[in-house]
């Protein structure tokens, strides 16, 4: 019963973390990263202003780099909601850790993974402040996103380890093939996400240098990093094809099949999102979906690997 309650808490926290990744992508796509130019307050207040008239003149005196005409209510509230959800996720991870403490004697991996997620989310809060203080330095934003991905992975693994081990057994050769195909796809997908963050950094840098440039010129100004990102997508597709072949040839549990086919489906969807981004001048909503979907793919692949690793190999 205690393990079931833990899994329920972990699942709620996983969904909330994915929502936070979605909001983080929305903040970046909307250009709202400095919607609140200070941290942890927003324009010097706990609750952000609705108009520039609501901001104290002393705030602009203390922050001469922030000009009144830069205020954008929509961007401010997008960033503020992102912060509120971030705090909520932190509290949910604390709740998950408390639940994990109650089952630590029988589910040690779940406890330590939950503890790791709690430590990481505390660091993530500090790093969020550095994102603002650094005025959106590209590598700091990327580290912020990748850390969210790591937290998501820790929670997913903790949830899996708290569940009953797969009842089915696999021949050693089939288990080895499944792990190999899963690891290849996971590494390829993670590398593609890292390259994708570099593409996003280049977009942000170009927009900072040429803020008035039309959106349909963004792709032409990306340079070599975009070419690498597109070509490496071929490697991900080949890895996904290998994964699908292995998936179809192995006898897995229903849950493992569900995760495996979901991964393949999301990769196909990711290709569609990438094509739309390039063809239609980076629509903001598709940017958000592309990043969130990429995060979900990597975490599902990690979950699949853990599930296969927990499956017993048949005795010779």
- Over 60: is that where the pLDDT of 203 sits? yes
CATH class (in words) of the domain with range 168-316: mainly alpha
Q: Are 195 and 262 in contact (CB under 8 A)?
A: no
pLDDT value of position 315: 59
Measured CA to CA, the distance from residue 121 to residue 45 in angstroms comes to 24
pLDDT (tens digit per residue) in 115-133: 999 999 998 888 877 766 7
- Strands of the chain, DSSP E: 169-170, 312-313
- Over 70: is that where the pLDDT of 56 sits? yes
Instruction: Please state whether the peptide bond connecting residue 40 to the residue before it is cis, i.e. omega within 30 degrees of 0.
Output: yes
pLDDT value of position 10: 93
End-to-end CA distance of the chain: 35
Q: Which band of pLDDT confidence, cut at 50, 70 and 90, is reported for residue 134?
A: low
Element (H, E) at 72: none
pLDDT (tens digit per residue) in 212-266: 677 667 777 777 888 888 889 999 999 999 999 999 988 888 888 999 999 999 9
Percent of the chain residues past pLDDT 70, beyond the cut = 94
Q: Which band of pLDDT confidence, cut at 50, 70 and 90, is reported for residue 184?
A: very high
The burial class, CB within 10 Å (0-12 / 13-18 / 19+), for 90 is buried
DSSP output for 264-290: HHHHHHHHHHHHHHHHTT--HHHHHHH
Which residue carries 């590209």 as its tokens? 138
Q: Are 52 and 72 in contact (CB under 8 A)?
A: no
pLDDT (tens digit per residue) in 1-33: 788 999 999 999 999 988 888 888 888 777 777
Domain boundaries, the chain: 1-164, 168-316
Both structure tokens of 137? 């330095």
pLDDT value of position 221: 76
Both structure tokens of 82? 């992102």
Q: Which band of pLDDT confidence, cut at 50, 70 and 90, is reported for residue 138?
A: low
**Higher-confidence residue: 74 or 199?**
74
Which residue carries 């990043």 as its tokens? 291
pLDDT value of position 279: 86
**Higher-confidence residue: 33 or 268?**
268
Which residue carries 């996971």 as its tokens? 186
């Amino acid at each position: 019963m205690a393990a079931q309650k833990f899994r329920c808490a972990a699942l709620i926290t996983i969904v909330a973390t994915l929502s936070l990744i979605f909001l983080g992508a929305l903040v970046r796509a909307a250009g709202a990263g400095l919607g609140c130019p200070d941290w942890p307050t927003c324009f010097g207040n706990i609750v952000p202003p609705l108009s520039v008239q609501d901001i104290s003149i002393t705030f602009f005196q203390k922050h001469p780099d922030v000009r009144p005409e830069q205020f954008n209510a929509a961007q401010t509230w997008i960033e503020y909601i992102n912060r509120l959800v971030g705090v909520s996720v932190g509290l949910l991870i604390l709740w998950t850790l408390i639940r994990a403490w109650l089952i630590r004697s029988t589910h040690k991996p779940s406890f330590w993974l939950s503890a790791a997620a709690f430590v990481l989310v505390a660091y993530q809060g500090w790093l969020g402040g550095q994102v603002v203080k650094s005025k959106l330095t590209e590598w700091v934003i990327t580290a912020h996103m990748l850390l969210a991905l790591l937290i998501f992975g820790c929670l997913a693994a903790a949830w899996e380890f708290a569940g009953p081990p797969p009842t089915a057994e696999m021949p050693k050769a089939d288990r080895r093939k499944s792990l190999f195909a899963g690891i290849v796809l996971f590494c390829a997908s993670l590398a593609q996400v890292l390259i994708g963050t570099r593409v996003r950094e280049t977009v942000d840098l170009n927009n900072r240098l040429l803020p008035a440039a039309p959106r349909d010129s963004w792709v032409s100004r990306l340079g070599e990093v975009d070419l690498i990102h597109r070509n490496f997508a071929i490697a991900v597709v080949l890895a996904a094809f290998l994964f699908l072949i292995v998936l179809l040839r192995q006898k897995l549990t229903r849950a493992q099949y569900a995760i495996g086919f979901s991964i393949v489906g999301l990769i196909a969807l990711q290709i569609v999102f990438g094509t739309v981004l390039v063809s239609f001048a980076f629509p903001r909503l598709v940017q958000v979906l592309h990043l969130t979907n990429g995060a979900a793919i990597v975490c599902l692949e990690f979950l699949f690997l853990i599930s296969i690793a927990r499956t017993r190999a048949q005795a010779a």
